[in-house]
Amino acid sequence: MPDNTEKPVRSGTDTAAGERPRRRQARGERRIAQLLAAAASVFCSAGYTAASTNAIAREAGVSPGTLYQFFPNKEAIAIELGDRLVHEMRETYGEALAPVEPGTPLEEAVAAAVDRFIDFNCRHPVFFALMHGPDIPGRIAEEHDALHATLLSRVEVLLACFMPDTPAADVSRTAQVCLSVYKAALEVVLGHEGAEREAYVRELKDLLVRYLTPLTAPRAGAPAGVPWRNTP
Amino acid sequence: MPDNTEKPVRSGTDTAAGERPRRRQARGERRIAQLLAAAASVFCSAGYTAASTNAIAREAGVSPGTLYQFFPNKEAIAIELGDRLVHEMRETYGEALAPVEPGTPLEEAVAAAVDRFIDFNCRHPVFFALMHGPDIPGRIAEEHDALHATLLSRVEVLLACFMPDTPAADVSRTAQVCLSVYKAALEVVLGHEGAEREAYVRELKDLLVRYLTPLTAPRAGAPAGVPWRNTP
DNA sequence: GGGAAACGCGAGTGACTGCTCGTGTTTGCC
DNA sequence: GGCAAACACGAGCAGTCACTCGCGTTTCCC
């Protein structure tokens, strides 16, 4: 195993004041994008550990040496890729889990969140492979954990709008269940296409709504199949 | 990569009339059990691909050569392990998904199935690592697919007891959702212990019951929070 | 134009892998 | 006891992997 001593060389676009600003040329930025796209393809079809850096370089049409001109090691490729994906997700869908104004139906909030995240994952299948792959190394796992924690707290806040009288621990557990269920459904959804895919998305929404509805209605004898309201 | 030509040597306990019956001594059987236990431990903590045969042999306290006296290759170790686990599961919990007699509450059926499978997976954490690991090779994936298909059809039959008027395609999709949700919850459950674990199990049961209840009750206006009955 | 730095190459390096093989020991059966 | 087969060993083989290095090419800036 190669040594894991810290390397001063920073890859990617951030010209942070590390040690060597390493002015990138336009050609270099193009190569980086190329390599990242190739890595996404290879990671997606083979998983992180099974993807060899030589294969990524070959997919990008460059030599292994060129790859290492831009990334200090294999992990850095996945990290940069994950960073960019998380950044795009935060930017494009950040508001999907924002607390809703009082009175918004639960169905609406669930549908909006599910639709946006499903859409993102369908357009970036690497994301699922990178974040939920079991063979990812430490740094990416950290990144995944951080993202998971962020999403979790977002979902908690969102849920708190609908179940204001529930203890925080229970809300947290409910949020965790929602995220896990979403992840499971995502795997199934990504495994189907067209009408079947949409049917599973529909099923996921129903599942979440049915799971959450009783938690938002303090009275057990409330009528079912009717729009609910939880704001006093 | 070493050649994958078929090897006549059969490992494990089955003295099937293949090519060489290879009479095992008691010592050999003990070694096999030892090696399988070591493999379970290593697979569990490192995953299949990251687990090296040398590490398995070391964990078992034998030399690499001894390991290959009983298993033709690394894959065979995982296959034998998976076979034994599946066999034990089928034997011990096979009836967990048997069709219930009419009138059995859905809650009861769900709770029984969930409890048994959760229990099994808690006692054999390797099972989850082997079956749901993303880096498993072809043969084990086949085994997993076969088991998944078996469970799926069992769940379909079970669900058909509760939703007799639903098209088969919808029942199948519902069963698929149930299994995926179970798998997702299993991951969470295995990640916690004690009271928290039980709370998540409780949550999983509630989730499944709430998801399935509306499907079993054709009338949308039926009262909620009350035991239901779907048999005419 | 000229020089420095970024870019690009690809054979090569060392570590590790799954697996083999020659040799020696233990076991079961007569 | 004796013998064949099963068992056990561990150095070593072939292969792959992540990664390096020396050298040639292109680009930018003056």
Say whether both B162 and B183 belong to one domain.
Answer: yes
Contact assessment for residue A40 and residue A59, using Cβ atoms and an 8 Å cutoff: no
Q: Does B52 touch chain A (CB under 8 A)?
A: no
| B96 confidence band (pLDDT: 50, 70, 90) | confident
Give SS3 for A184: helix
Give SS3 for B11: coil
| A219 confidence band (pLDDT: 50, 70, 90) | very low
Say whether both B101 and B193 belong to one domain.
Answer: yes
Number of domains forming the structure of chain B: 2
The pLDDT score that the predictor gives to residue A220 is: 41
Q: What are A117-151's pLDDT values in tens digits?
A: 999 999 999 999 999 877 787 788 888 999 999 99
Amino acid of residue A222: A
Give me the DSSP letters along A144-162: HHHHHHHHHHHHHHHHHHH
Contact assessment for residue B207 and residue B213, using Cβ atoms and an 8 Å cutoff: no
Say whether both A100 and A207 belong to one domain.
Answer: yes
Query: Residue B85: which CATH number?
Result: 1.10.357.10
B58 touches strand C (CB under 7 A): no
Residue A140: CB atoms within 10 Å = 20
Say whether both B104 and B125 belong to one domain.
Answer: yes
Please choose, from the candidates A141, A125, A119, A132, the residue with its C-alpha nearest in 3D space to the C-alpha of residue B183. A132
The pLDDT score that the predictor gives to residue A231 is: 37
- Name the residues contacting strand D (CB < 7 Å): A 2, 25-27, 51-55, 64-65, 68, 72-75; B 1-2, 20, 22-25, 27-29, 31, 61-66, 68-70
| A46 confidence band (pLDDT: 50, 70, 90) | very high
| C1' (D14) to CA (B3) span, angstroms | 11
CA-CA-CA-CA torsion sign (A71, A72, A78, A83): negative
Say whether both B64 and B83 belong to one domain.
Answer: no
Inspect the interface and report whether the beta carbons of B214 and A224 lie closer than 8 Å. Answer: yes
Please choose, from the candidates A206, A227, A196, A222, the residue with its C-alpha nearest in 3D space to the C-alpha of residue A110. A206
Q: Which nucleotides of C are covered by protein (CB under 7 A)?
A: 5-12, 15-22, 26-28
Of residues A221 and B46, the one with the higher pLDDT is B46
Mean pLDDT of chain B: 85
Say whether both A55 and A132 belong to one domain.
Answer: no
Q: What angle do CA A16, A18, A23 make, to 5 degrees?
A: 60
Residue B140 corresponds to which tokens in the numbers above?
A: 């084990």
B53 to chain A, closest Cα gap in Å: 17
| A98 confidence band (pLDDT: 50, 70, 90) | confident
Say whether both B82 and B115 belong to one domain.
Answer: yes
Would residue B15 count as lying in a domain? Answer: no
In whole angstroms, give the CA distance from residue B229 to residue B232. 8
Say whether both A97 and A186 belong to one domain.
Answer: yes
Q: Does A176 touch chain B (CB under 8 A)?
A: yes
Say whether both B62 and B110 belong to one domain.
Answer: no
Say whether both B100 and B38 belong to one domain.
Answer: no
The pLDDT score that the predictor gives to residue B189 is: 97
Instruction: Name the closest residue (CA) to the C1' of nucleotide C21.
Output: B65
The secondary structure of B18-79, three-state, reads CCCCCCCCHHHHHHHHHHHHHHHHHHHHHCCCCCCHHHHHHHHCCCHHHHHHHCCCHHHHHH
Would residue A146 count as lying in a domain? Answer: yes
Instruction: Name the closest residue (CA) to the C1' of nucleotide C8.
Output: A66
| B20 confidence band (pLDDT: 50, 70, 90) | low
The pLDDT score that the predictor gives to residue B134 is: 74
| A218 confidence band (pLDDT: 50, 70, 90) | low
Would residue A42 count as lying in a domain? Answer: yes
The nucleotide minimizing the C1' distance to residue B32's CA is D7
Domain limits at B116?
A: 78-216
Say whether both B88 and B66 belong to one domain.
Answer: no
The pLDDT score that the predictor gives to residue B19 is: 55
Asked whether residue B57 carries a pLDDT value surpassing 50, the answer given is yes
Contact assessment for residue A83 and residue A127, using Cβ atoms and an 8 Å cutoff: no
Q: Mean of the pLDDT values across residues B61-73?
A: 97
Which residue's entry shows tokens 């939920």?
A: A132
The pLDDT score that the predictor gives to residue B34 is: 98
Query: Residue B43: which CATH number?
Result: 1.10.10.60
Say whether both A142 and A171 belong to one domain.
Answer: yes
The nucleotide minimizing the C1' distance to residue B56's CA is C18
Would residue A30 count as lying in a domain? Answer: yes
